[in-house]
Structure 1
Amino acid sequence: VRAAWQWAIDQERIEALNQLLMPLFDFYDIRGWLREGREALKTTVAHLRQLPSTPELLPTFGKALARQGHFYFRLGQYQEAIPLLREGLALFRKLDHPREVVMLLNMLGRIAYRRGEYQEAAVYCQESIELCRRIDYKWGMVNALETLGHCATDQGDYDTARGYHQQGLDIAREVGDWRAIASLLNGLGYTGWRLGEYEAATGYCQESLQIFREIGDRWGTVMALKNLGNIAGDEGDNQQALVWYAEGLTVSRTIGFRWGEAALLNNQGNIALIEGDYHLAKQLCTQSVATWREIGYQYGIAGSLETLGNVAISLAEYDEARACFHEALETAVAIDAVPMILEIFVGVARLCARVGDLAEALRLLAYVNKHAALDQEGKNKTLIAWDELWAQASPEVRAYVQAENDQLQMQDVLTAVLAKLT
């Protein structure tokens, strides 16, 4: 395929390029050869830009442009991907190629989700779904539903997330799209993990991992390994979690999947924190934050900073903890990531307790514990901190916390916490 592709480029055989584009794209994408795919499409797009814009050329050029953007997206290079995808979208709207429009809307929606721009992601995905319904294009609808499910999960709306993922899975099974089936199973597993439904979540993710391995999708394999590691860690099996994470990190680095690398570094840092290896935890999470910043993934930045804040508390670096929590909280608030905001509150409560403000620590934990968007990981952290601190509280502090708990609203808590961290 690659030899034929190069020949078609050299000879400027547009019809041959059009026929070979999808086989070449699939060749690189399924195998996880993301950097090689990016370079192959980059060379192609640069060559095609030099040719006259004929009716024969434009669809092929647009498809190559979109696939180049796809590889940048898969590599976590969102700033490079977005202008390519927008250029392709404008071209295919003009050419009236609705399926290509759907694909580009879906990719732009997924990037918006990854950047924490949930409202923008929803706009892209809803337009995609409406267009898919008009042209009866079920495959395109699956991808949009999956993205909407991820957005709902990150915002703590777990029932809605599960509904989107299940709807997408049903359609994927109907059309026989195994890659989408595996991805949506993994999405259901991720939501199950967030809800603490570990047995069901493990089943979804194991099935997802098996399919990804069978079809040779290394990008998807990383996502399933990450989720299985998360589940194992929450169930207390840190060694198994590290096995899953290590395999996922190796694959991520092999294929240049920076999103996966950043996520797995942070997860390894969490395990190191739990096991008391604070300097290793700091090293891993610092690498994670740096990679998230390069990618622009706001949820990831907030999550790794939250971990670093807790590491700083354990190292008695309280000013550093304040700085980490402050940036993490502002980032999470900006993208309306309520579960992340609640986890940061737990970290701030630990900090308050360390610096002698036990009443404020317990007040924060009481608020977090009653919030509907709190996921199982957050509940575990909250209850551990609560049990430790409640035992230290005087009757007066306990009475204050119980009286305050009924009155607290999110905006009031946010204002108070940000003031403490400034």
Structure 2
Amino acid sequence: GLQVFKDLDEYWYAIEALDYLARARHALGKPLTEMRQLAEENLRLSRKGGSVAAIVEALYLLGSTLYKMGDMERIEAKALLEESVALCRKLNYPSGMALALYQLGLTTMASDDDQIASTCFHEALEILISSQFTPIILEILVGLATLRVQQQALTPNQSEILLTLATLVFNHPASNRQTHNNAARLLAELDTAGLPREIITAAKEQAQTMTLEAMAEQILR
């Protein structure tokens, strides 16, 4: 069916089919090389006959795929995601820009470019808070907290804030499995830091009452 769409120059259907196949392959645990081939073809067709929005989605799909493949592919992933962000700005497409910024933040963090990663996470979080996209907000909060733990020696107050954040995200019903696992790793890392018991107790109490918006405001300061 996909080849028929290509032969008929029905780009929209072919692009949608490729996007679905790429994501389905990943969900089924197929090799990332298969997802990459489909994502590359998706981007090629999107550039040839798709809308600007289709190009944005295709750039994100290929960029996020290459990010998962390791260090050698992350240079290309960064360039694709930067192009996606730029197109989203031009289109005034905030949700797409937030997702691309988040993925760009992950990519640059994996490449040890912490300053760019922090900037991307902050901008994505500001966009998402206004749109109430809770699952991605939770992912970004954990990403930012992890970055802060890696970047610097923490004061007791900073440790309490990050422990509160990790606990809130770990227990939040909207956290997906990956976010939940990332929060668990962050909690384990903070647990080995030898924090005073009063800080641990205070953080756990705050996590029970603090809203996601209030937590985001603290992390953005």
Distance in 2 (alpha carbons) for counterparts of 1:229 and 1:288: 23
Q: 1:368 to 1:219 in 2, by over 3 A?
A: same
Give runs of ≥4 in structure 1 deviating > 6 Å.
27-30
CA contact (8 A) 1:265 1:288 kept: no
Q: In structure 2, what residue type is equivalent to 1:268?
A: T
In the other structure, the counterpart of 1:405 is 207
Mark the runs of 5 or more structure 2 residues left unpaired by the alignment: none
Identity %: 22
Q: CA RMSD, aligned part only?
A: 3.0
Q: In structure 2, what residue type is equivalent to 1:290?
A: A
In the other structure, the counterpart of 1:48 is none
Q: Which TM-score applies when normalising by structure 2?
A: 0.75
- Residues 206-260 of structure 1 deviation map (CA, whole Å, 9 limit, x = unaligned): xxxxxxxxxxx4133123123224425xx5x6xx134123213313422434144
- Residues 353-395 of structure 1 deviation map (CA, whole Å, 9 limit, x = unaligned): 1223344333212111222222233223333433344333434
Q: In structure 1, what residue type is equivalent to 2:24?
A: L
CA contact (8 A) 2:81 2:100 kept: yes
Distance in 2 (alpha carbons) for counterparts of 1:31 and 1:388: 55
Q: Which TM-score applies when normalising by structure 1?
A: 0.43
In the other structure, the counterpart of 2:217 is 415
- Residues 314-340 of structure 1 deviation map (CA, whole Å, 9 limit, x = unaligned): 444333233211210111122221111
Q: 1:220 to 1:241 in 2, by over 3 A?
A: same
Q: 1:247 to 1:351 in 2, by over 3 A?
A: same
Aligned match of 2:168 in 344, 356, 367? 367
Q: 1:310 to 1:251 in 2, by over 3 A?
A: closer
Aligned match of 1:337 in 133, 137, 149? 133
Q: How many residues align?
A: 205
Q: 1:291 to 1:340 in 2, by over 3 A?
A: same
In the other structure, the counterpart of 1:225 is 21
Distance in 2 (alpha carbons) for counterparts of 1:365 and 1:269: 28
- Residues 66-114 of structure 1 deviation map (CA, whole Å, 9 limit, x = unaligned): xxxxxxxx5xxxxxxxxxxxxxxxxxxxxxxxxxxxxxxxxxxxxxxxx
In the other structure, the counterpart of 1:243 is 34
Distance in 1 (alpha carbons) for counterparts of 2:9 and 2:89: 23
CA contact (8 A) 1:293 1:301 kept: yes
CA contact (8 A) 1:225 1:247 kept: yes
> Does 1 or 2 have the higher relative contact order (CA < 8 Å, sep 6+)?
2
Q: In structure 1, what residue type is equivalent to 2:119?
A: A
Is 2:153 aligned against 1:356? yes
Q: Greater Rg, structure 1 or structure 2? A: 1
